[in-house]
Amino acid sequence: MNIIKDISNIPGKKTKRKIVVIESDDWGSIRMPSVSVYQDLLKKGSPVDKSHFNKYDALECNDDLEILYSVLQKYHDCKQNNPVFTCVNIVANPDFDKIEKNGFEEYYYEPFAKTLDGYPNHDRVYSLWKEGVQNGLVYPVFHGREHLNVIRWMSELRNGNDIVRFAFNRHTSGIPRSYRGGLLPDFQAAFDIDHLSDNTFMSSVLESGLDLFEQLYGYRSRYFVPTNGPFCNVLEKTLFNGGVSYINSGKIQHEPIGNGQTKVHFRYMGKRNKFNQCYITRNCFFEPSSSNVDYVDLCLRDISTAFKWHKPAVISTHRVNYIGFLHEENRDKSIKQLEKLLSRMLEIWPDIEFISSVELGDMLIGDK
């Protein structure tokens, strides 16, 4: 028995329904553009081999989405609905060419749909997203404009940081923090701040990102998951004004307030802020790409604990698990594990209901 997991599942709204939500982060973002870029970074001394994200994660290709869809279509809950992935999506990536032409003086971005044009086997990805939404297999929500802390990254580029410029020239920014005995700033945490004044820029990123999300997918995102977690709560007003009703949070939130300081907040599923926005927390984890641990068994135990305390099971599973663009064996392994997980959970709990995170939010606040 895991006492900590039991205790963490006690607070919050309860339900007798066997609700399962599957949240998957990072879709739409660049990580590793190619195997050759990976090898270049490794030779340069960047420890890309120490992270499964750097080794396996990449902009999703046609095959990645088609194979994921083919699995989700095989399974049905007690209401004959397929499992639905709430895909937590990035909507833009750096426009490397424009940034370089401008001498690194100004930041430019491009919609992820344009980024796809520079990759082989990505020509149908955007249409596949629309197809997946129409068929109820995926439900995109907002993760951020880009999976990148623009302020920190541009500062290092202007200063001529060797490894950051090296990665930039290969059209990537998501590199390990450690490099030759030193430590780079955290570039992946898009909404982390070093100074309170950074929030003015962060607010503009949220506004433009939410608008771009609507342009790409045809609806406003009502749910937001901050990249890598750090997020200053004053930005909740910007989210509220942008139509966001639900915010993902760790059960213990370490809010960055500038100058290296943080403020601790305790969250539970269904807790609300002053704007009446509802927090959604995750309580199950399925990351088979990260190690050889039996994540099927671990996730089933997490689900069992959630149901024991009459809580929805909210599963965290990152995009990297389903990406085979760089290494097909990574996707093949995880897909087999996903099939096993879905099969086992439906066998154990035949009354499971698969819903999206937004549907869960609606349930938590009593709209539906």
DSSP tally for the chain: helices H, then strands E = 14, 15
DSSP state, residue 145: S
What confidence category does residue 1 fall into, taking pLDDT thresholds of 50, 70 and 90? low
Whether this prediction's pTM lies above 0.85 is answered by yes
pLDDT tens digit string along 112-169? 999 999 999 999 999 999 999 999 999 999 999 999 999 999 999 999 999 999 999 9
Q: Is 136 exposed, middle or buried (0-12, 13-18, 19+ CB in 10 A)?
A: middle
Residue by residue, DSSP assigns 174-193 as ---SEETTEE---SS-TT--
The domains located in the chain, with CATH, are 3-365 (3.20.20.370)
Comparing CA positions, the residue from 287, 304, 151 lying closest to residue 230 is 151
Pairing of strands 261-266, 252-258: antiparallel
How distant, in Å, are the alpha carbons of 68, 242, 314 from that of 85? 10, 23, 11
Where b means 16+ CB within 10 Å and e means fewer, 164-176 reads: bebbbebbbbbbb
Distance CA 217, CA 355 (A): 19
pLDDT tens digit string along 333-350? 999 999 999 999 999 999
What confidence category does residue 366 fall into, taking pLDDT thresholds of 50, 70 and 90? confident
3-state DSSP helix/strand/coil percent for the chain, to nearest 5? 40, 15, 40
Size (the chain), residues: 368
pLDDT tens digit string along 57-86? 999 999 999 999 999 999 999 999 999 999
Beta bridge partners of 23: 86, 316
Q: What sign has the CA pseudo-torsion 134, 138, 139, 145?
A: negative
Q: Which residue type, as a one-letter code, is found at position 28?
A: G
Close Cβ partners of 204 (under 8 Å, ≥ 6 residues apart)? none
Comparing CA positions, the residue from 180, 204, 239 lying closest to residue 44 is 180
- The pLDDT of residue 368 is 44
